[in-house]
Amino acid sequence: MPLLGVLAARLAGGPLALCDASDVDGIASAALFKRRHPNGYVELMGPTDVKRWWVKLVRWDFVADLPCPGKAKIRADHHKTNKPCAEAEFYDPEAPASAVLAAKALGLEGDEVARQLVEAAVQTDTANVTDPRIKLLDLAVRYASKREKLAVVEKLAQRGLAALDEEPLRSMAVRGLEKDRLVAQIAGFIPAEEMLFIYSPTHLGISYRLLAIELERKGAKFVNILVRRGWRTYRLYCGAHRDAPYDCAEVATRMGGGGHKYAAGALIKAPLLDLGKPLRDLVAMLKPSVVYVLGDCNNIKTSCKSIQVMTRGSNER
């Protein structure tokens, strides 16, 4: 249980870090903290998890790539929709990644391993991955469990990108490459229209963020993917090309989430008596000419095209 780990770490007197679990930027920021504080404790969470009651009661020594949990000594973040609140803020919505600010906050700007981690965060967060090693790290992290991510944090803190030659990262990268081929296959079934609205009635075990990036590479300018994650739960992934006028942060904020202009998301709960409301609301907001459904067009009361796919599960949040 995360709370017990945090309490034990606090009683031991070590520094506590809270970092985003969902991408390389958050994992790299956590690794930077461990490089500065090898005996520190890291908790990984998603943006919505920060709202938990016990998270707000803890005084965190370091927070990165997340909204303010309530009490924080130092926070490093670049999200437009996350407001500053820590005693010492390293906050810049124009920064390409939170890890850039984390390295500065932790005094690691001259460290070679830190430089590698920051570069990995920048390339993945700007969707401009040019280093094959960073591509492998991205794929490894996206499909990792929390336990695996914590192991990755330790390895990266010690070895930087050289950790990709060791376990568990080596096997995790192989698994990620298999998933990446499936993402490319699905993207091949979807036309590269300027605006795309995609609905996935079940989680297909892929990275929907990478699917949005792949569709942008094909020529799409504005991609919104709504995924039904459970009985009432939906997840929105929004991606906008940097040369386009669209604003993903605005869309995500209206759906209860946040992020950047070019990449944002939201976790949405449907009303108990109206489980289809999130899909209808997003369709009403974006007014797509067609909804591409990764599955059957059951009960979708708008123009719809079905894309049949078969996949296995994923740990991506």
- Is 111 contained in some domain? yes
- Is 316 contained in some domain? no
pLDDT at 81 over 60: yes
> Is the domain of 84 the same as that of 207?
no
CB count within 10 Å of CB 109 equals 12
**Residue 104 amino acid letter:** K
Domain count, the chain: 2
Confidence of residue 162 (pLDDT cuts 50, 70, 90): very high
Query: How far apart, in Å, are the Cα atoms of 98 and each of 52, 123, 290?
Result: 22, 12, 36
CA 153 from chain centre, in angstroms, equals 16
> Is the domain of 13 the same as that of 154?
yes
pLDDT at 69 over 60: yes
> Is the domain of 27 the same as that of 150?
yes
> Average pLDDT, stretch 224-252?
96
CA distance between the termini of the chain:
18
pLDDT score of 301: 84
> Is the domain of 110 the same as that of 215?
no
The length of the chain, given as a count of residues:
317
pLDDT at 217 over 70: yes
Distance separating alpha carbons of residues 137 and 23, to the nearest angstrom: 10
pLDDT score of 316: 54
- Is 138 contained in some domain? no
- Is 100 contained in some domain? yes
pLDDT score of 311: 57
> Average pLDDT, stretch 113-129?
97
Tell me: the pLDDT tens digits for 280-295?
999 999 999 999 999 9
Q: In which residue are the tokens 């376990």 written?
A: 167
> Is the domain of 33 the same as that of 154?
yes
Which residues constitute the domain of residue 248?
191-306
Q: Structure pTM? A: 0.89
Confidence of residue 264 (pLDDT cuts 50, 70, 90): very high
Q: Quick one: which of 19, 21, 46, 39 has its CA closest to 102?
A: 19
Residue where one domain finishes, among candidates 136, 159, 182: 159
Confidence of residue 315 (pLDDT cuts 50, 70, 90): low
pLDDT score of 312: 52
> Is the domain of 153 the same as that of 33?
yes
> Is the domain of 295 the same as that of 211?
yes
> Is the domain of 28 the same as that of 83?
yes
> Is the domain of 18 the same as that of 110?
yes
Q: 105, 277 in Cβ contact below 8 A?
A: no
> Is the domain of 121 the same as that of 215?
no
- Is 262 contained in some domain? yes
pLDDT at 310 over 70: no
What is the rounded average pLDDT for all residues in the chain? 94
> Is the domain of 197 the same as that of 152?
no
Confidence of residue 44 (pLDDT cuts 50, 70, 90): very high
Tell me: the pLDDT tens digits for 169-213?
999 999 999 999 999 999 999 999 999 999 999 999 999 999 999
CATH number for the domain spanning 288: value is 3.10.310.40
Task: Report the b/e string of 294-308 with b at 16+ CB within 10 A.
Answer: bbebeebebebeeee
